Structure 1
């Protein structure tokens, strides 16, 4: 409803040709500034006041578009009483900072926000770029494949966190499927059989 009111106010302010161009521009700026300042309102009382003011202004604009001189004069009086900062063009929003820039702005030491263990390794550090080693100490062993939930993969240490997370997700998915199958077999299937038996009796 707030977005619909916002669009209606802007639309009617453009359609109010009985007002001066500067007045219409001031109305549009005031609408944008007020809606931006009230975007995070959580108070019911203040929200009710803001909605009441918005719909009252919309009624005045509707009357102005319809050619009501009294409404036009009332709008001009209200715009004259409106503070200059409210009638000024909205200030552009500051560009959103990245998480790293926010941490730097707060002055957090770099050691507290190092690279995430789930982040992809940089080029040259990936397993496929490092293995097989060109030179090793001792006897070269055959790579071992392990199977987790029917998915074979190459086991190496230390195991990356993203691989551990993937295995946990696959195990959890398999367990949920098994639990669902047990519920079907132990509860819903017997219940369906009893319903069929009851239908035959009836």
Structure 2
């Protein structure tokens, strides 16, 4: 099951944190950020997809170092729709932030400095999307309390079903039909 399917499943599950309003808030924040930075929608989707790939890699490293709970703790602590530089620092060293911005700039054509300015908003948004699969009682709950959306994101078999940009684009279409 793809990432977007997991998100829709989480929205339909009253025991998980996902909701249509949470998804709408994520989409609105992305649109506002794009408009404020003068980034068009196709660039925004590529930007989110690329940022999502780097977040996935960083969370997989956290999981390898400290287990699934380590990755979940970062998602739970730093997710949101407000800018949070600490979220970026939790995943990337200053040198890595520069490398990520340069790589994304090459893929999107967006200035690296603009990307660096956007990361404190983009990273928490990606984490917010991932947190949507957590149980309302907390993702650390015993007995199957794992975050299904985060699990799908981290355990991908490389079939590219975990694209954050695509998931947010599909979420926007999904909300428009509801």
Alignment TM-score, normalising by the size of structure 2: 0.25
Q: For the pair shown, which has the larger CA radius of gyration, 1 or 2?
A: 1
Structure with higher RCO (Cα < 8 A, 6+ apart): 2
Alignment TM-score, normalising by the size of structure 1: 0.23
Task: Select the structure that is richer in helix.
Answer: 2
